[in-house]
């Protein structure tokens, strides 16, 4: 088939973009398979830190925005670079690591960080655990309650739609054995760690960040969009309250529910709900939505309410990305891990009745008050939850931890 000049001009940007994405994906797979990426900035310094995170974060200068952890990895590495360290990075799943060369081991949960708790007394780096989720005991407790609540309403269990690893003690050990813990989220998340550990000086917290990817939709038609609800999440559909969102839309056909990013792998969840939502025009399944796409901007312009009935989070970056780009009024759980300072409707108890009541309260607001809360959430998130502020907060926390360099005894 021959293409003329105009047809080539039309398809070339698409082909180039797709090829570029394929190359980036291939390079990321190569990096993620590496046991160790040494001295990512080429500094050759005496002080060394091992970052137990995601080596693929260093596959490109501008990592994709499909998940915040790639950007987090690069930011954390830059902070240690500013503090005078050579930075090595290993996959969090790796084992058999020689920890002897490192002054500091920093990591998220996994084999690589847990392996630093060696029986060899000569290996004793400063260990800094980066917790990107809720405290494990709190998470297990609310997960049990959420499952019981769903069973009481639907008469079945959906254990495959939770977000926890039963029987894995590392989630507890990594925090309670480390010299310092940095919790991603807000003061609510931080307090859950303090409730399980008497050593308060071990813990610090910092807010997450959003990606600014689209102009604010504050000029949208709030009268027309206020009954369009957005649920934006990923795996762990019961954990993140998608059942509550769907049950509400089924009971209130005057509202339209937009579902973005849900996991098709959770077959028990969809076996339960697919027959119920089939043919329902007010429940729209968008699938995975790239936040850098036109589709994402269009959905934000169409929706007036963000619904997030999650039982536990560590900063909820998906929620931040919606609020920091879209001017939606948030109806969200306290456990979301975001402090909106009164510009949303926060729900303390994650249950259908409590969220139904919260949505109806939002619906009863005068239009100008609805708009004020929606644009207020946008202003707070887009200005206060930036990558730059995250980096400065992280740098200051690491600087303080390292300067104190205090080996905290297990209590």
pTM of the model: 0.86
pLDDT, tens digit, for every residue of 320-334?
999 999 999 999 999
Beta bridge partners of 256: 228
pLDDT, tens digit, for every residue of 82-123?
999 999 999 988 888 999 999 999 999 888 999 998 767 778
pLDDT tops 70 at residue 28: no
pLDDT, tens digit, for every residue of 163-218?
765 545 566 788 889 999 999 999 999 999 999 998 889 999 999 999 988 876 66
The token pair at 239 is: 């954990």
**Residue 275: strand, helix, or coil:** helix
pLDDT at site 77: 96
Average pLDDT, integer, range 59-88: 88
Beta bridge partners of 48: 86
The token pair at 309 is: 């009935």
pLDDT at site 171: 63
For residues 357 and 341, the answer to whether their CB atoms sit within 8 Å is no
pLDDT at site 162: 81
Q: Is 86 exposed, middle or buried, given 0-12, 13-18 or 19+ CB atoms closer than 10 A?
A: buried
* Sheet containing 203-206: order of strands: 86-91, 48-53, 104-107, 126-131, 180-184, 203-206
pLDDT tops 50 at residue 33: no
For residues 136 and 172, the answer to whether their CB atoms sit within 8 Å is yes
Instruction: Render the burial of 302-316: b for 16+ CB within 10 Å, e for the rest.
Output: bbbbbbbbbbbbbbb
Question: What confidence tier does 13 reach under pLDDT thresholds 50, 70, 90?
Answer: very low
The C-alpha R_g of the chain, in whole angstroms, comes to 23
Q: Which of 13-22, 109-118, 237-246 has the highest mean pLDDT?
A: 237-246
Mean pLDDT of the chain: 86
pLDDT at site 27: 43
Cα gap 124→7, rounded to integer Å: 63
Q: Is the dihedral of CA 210, 310, 194, 50 positive or negative?
A: negative
For residues 385 and 324, the answer to whether their CB atoms sit within 8 Å is yes
pLDDT tops 50 at residue 340: yes
pLDDT at site 4: 40
For residues 395 and 401, the answer to whether their CB atoms sit within 8 Å is no
Give the residue from 319, 289, 285 showing the smallest Cα distance to 305.
319
pLDDT tops 60 at residue 24: no
Architecture of domain 9-136+164-209+388-404: 3-Layer(aba) Sandwich (3.40)
For residues 19 and 72, the answer to whether their CB atoms sit within 8 Å is no
Determine the CATH number of domain 222-386.
3.40.50.2000
DSSP state of 44: -
Domains 9-136+164-209+388-404 and 222-386 share a fold: yes
Query: Could you write out the DSSP letters of every residue in 298-314?
Result: HHHHH--EEEE--S--S
Q: How far does CA 312 lie from the centroid of its chain? A: 11
H or E stretch covering 98: none
- The domain segmentation of the chain, as residue ranges, is 9-136+164-209+388-404, 222-386
Average pLDDT, integer, range 123-128: 91
Query: What percentage of the chain carries pLDDT values higher than 70?
Result: 86
């Amino acid at each position: 088939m021959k293409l003329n000049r105009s047809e080539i001009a039309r398809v070339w940007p698409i082909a180039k973009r797709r090829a570029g994405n394929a190359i980036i994906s291939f390079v990321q797979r190569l990096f993620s398979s590496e046991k160790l990426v040494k001295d990512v900035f080429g500094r050759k310094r005496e002080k060394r830190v091992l970052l137990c995170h995601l080596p693929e974060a260093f596959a490109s200068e501008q990592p994709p925005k499909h998940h915040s952890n790639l950007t987090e990895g690069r930011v954390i590495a830059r902070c240690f670079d500013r503090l005078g360290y050579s930075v090595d990075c290993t996959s969090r799943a790796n084992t058999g690591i020689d920890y002897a060369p490192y002054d500091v081991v920093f990591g998220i949960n996994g084999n690589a960080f847990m392996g630093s708790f060696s029986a060899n007394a000569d290996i004793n780096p400063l260990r800094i655990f980066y917790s990107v989720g809720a405290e494990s005991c709190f998470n297990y407790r609310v997960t049990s309650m959420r499952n019981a609540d769903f069973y009481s309403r639907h008469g079945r269990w959906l254990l495959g739609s939770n977000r926890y690893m039963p029987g894995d003690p590392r989630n507890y050990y990594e925090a309670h054995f480390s010299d310092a813990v940095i919790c991603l989220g807000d003061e609510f998340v931080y307090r859950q760690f303090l409730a399980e550990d008497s050593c308060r000086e071990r813990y610090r917290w910092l807010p997450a960040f959003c990606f600014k990817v689209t102009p604010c939709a504050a000029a949208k038609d709030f009268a027309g969009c206020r009954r369009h609800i957005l649920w934006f999440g990923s795996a762990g559909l019961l954990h993140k309250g998608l059942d509550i969102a769907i049950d509400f839309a089924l009971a209130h056909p005057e509202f339209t529910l937009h579902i973005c990013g849900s996991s098709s792998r959770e077959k028990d969840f969809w076996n339960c709900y697919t027959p119920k939502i089939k043919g329902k025009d007010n429940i729209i399944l968008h699938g995975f939505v790239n936040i850098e796409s036109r589709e994402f901007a269009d959905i934000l312009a169409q929706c007036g309410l963000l619904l997030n009935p999650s039982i536990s989070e560590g900063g909820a970056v998906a929620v931040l990305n919606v609020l920091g780009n879209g001017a939606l009024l948030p109806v969200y759980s306290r456990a979301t891990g975001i402090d909106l300072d009164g510009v949303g409707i926060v729900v303390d108890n994650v249950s259908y009745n409590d969220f139904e009541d919260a949505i109806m309260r939002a619906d009863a607001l005068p239009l100008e008050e609805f708009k004020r809360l929606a644009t207020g959430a946008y202003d707070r998130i887009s200005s206060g939850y930036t990558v730059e502020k995250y980096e400065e907060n992280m740098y200051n926390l690491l600087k303080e931890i390292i300067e104190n360099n205090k080996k905290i005894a297990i209590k």
